[in-house]
Amino acid sequence: MTLLSRMNINILLSVFFCTALSAMAYEPEAQTRFAHIHTHEAMDIHIQTALESRYSLEGRDSLDGDAISATSLDLGWGGFTGGLWYGWSPDQNYEESRLTLGLAEQVGDFEFYAGYTHLKFPDSHDNEVGVGGVWSGLPLQLEVAVDAYYSFDADGSFWELSLSRAVKVSENFTFTGTGMFGINDGYISDGHGGANHFGLRLGSEYSLSQSLTVTGHGTYSWALNRSSRLEGDEQLANFFHGGLGLEWSF
């Protein structure tokens, strides 16, 4: 069965329609498996720390309602990017770390990227590759993006489509948001395949200085085609989660 045949076209159209009306912008969450990689004119260093009310991954409440705290260090120069990410839960004995290396290329209104991530969990590890692209040439300053990442451990991939827009309230304050549509293609090996979840996210960024920014978001995720008979779908649910963070740029 092809990827297109697994999509629910009506849901996909609803994602784009609702997101356009909401005037949202794409902004990856701190815990996202594979975030967008951007080109840099000079050496850039970003340090981010955040507290999330739930650990949301692939539409799943991965820690059964418990929070996660995450700290990351990202380095960028030209089209090259490297990053370290460490997350731990203040509510249970869980920690995870990631090392990411990536490349990005911008051509006009299009930006393409690819990367490799090594993940370490409490009792296992995994290696993933990810690719994606962003097109910012849409009317109303909308951006459309496609992301895909492949797990060597699961021998499967996960796809996410998004449509977004940023609304700048003032020089220092920006509201952001995104509409997301996720598709499981064997990445959650013991979960159902095809349309996986739909999410709406509204966030904000406030610059305290040229190098320090406060971030926050609220996200609601709806499960699609959840099967109670599959173990991989047990944490796939409708739920809200939010987060607060600080980001330093050098």
pTM (two decimals): 0.83
Which residues on adjacent β-strands are paired with residue 30? Answer: none
Instruction: Determine the average pLDDT of the residues in 87-98.
Output: 96
Which of 48-52, 121-125, 239-243 comes out lowest in average pLDDT? 121-125
pLDDT per residue as tens digits for the range 192-230: 999 999 999 999 999 999 999 999 999 999 999 999 999
* pLDDT at residue 69, rounded to an integer: 97
- 29 pLDDT tier (thresholds 50, 70, 90): low
CB 97 within 8 A of CB 118: no
> Tokens 């005037």 sit at which residue?
23
User: What does each C-alpha distance from 143 to 11, 24, 138, 151 come to in angstroms?
Assistant: 19, 9, 6, 27
* pLDDT at residue 39, rounded to an integer: 59
Instruction: Determine the Cα–Cα distance for residues 180 and 29; give it in Å rounded to an integer.
Output: 12
CB atoms within 10 A of CB 17: 12
Instruction: Determine the Cα–Cα distance for residues 137 and 40; give it in Å rounded to an integer.
Output: 20
User: What does each C-alpha distance from 75 to 45, 79, 116 come to in angstroms?
Assistant: 5, 11, 15
Instruction: Determine the Cα–Cα distance for residues 224 and 27; give it in Å rounded to an integer.
Output: 22
Element (H, E) at 13: helix 9-22
Instruction: Determine the average pLDDT of the residues in 103-129.
Output: 94
* pLDDT at residue 176, rounded to an integer: 85
- 107-110, Cβ contacts within 8 angstroms, sequence gap of 24 or more: 108/137, 109/135, 109/136, 109/137, 110/134, 110/135, 110/136, 110/137
Rounded to the nearest integer, the mean pLDDT of the chain is: 87
Radius of gyration of the chain (CA): 17
Is 44 buried (19+), middle (13-18) or exposed (0-12) by CB count in 10 A?
A: middle
Tokens representing residue 69 in the block: 């705290």
* φ, ψ dihedrals at 169, nearest 5°: -80, -40
The answer, yes or no, to whether residue 143 has pLDDT greater than 70, is yes
To the question of domain 3-249 being in CATH 1.10.3720.10, the answer is no
Residues 6+ apart with CB under 8 A from 101: 81, 82, 115, 116
Residue 17: HSE in the Cβ half-sphere, 13 Å Cα cutoff: 6
* pLDDT at residue 40, rounded to an integer: 58
CB atoms within 10 A of CB 13: 10
Instruction: Determine the Cα–Cα distance for residues 184 and 156; give it in Å rounded to an integer.
Output: 8
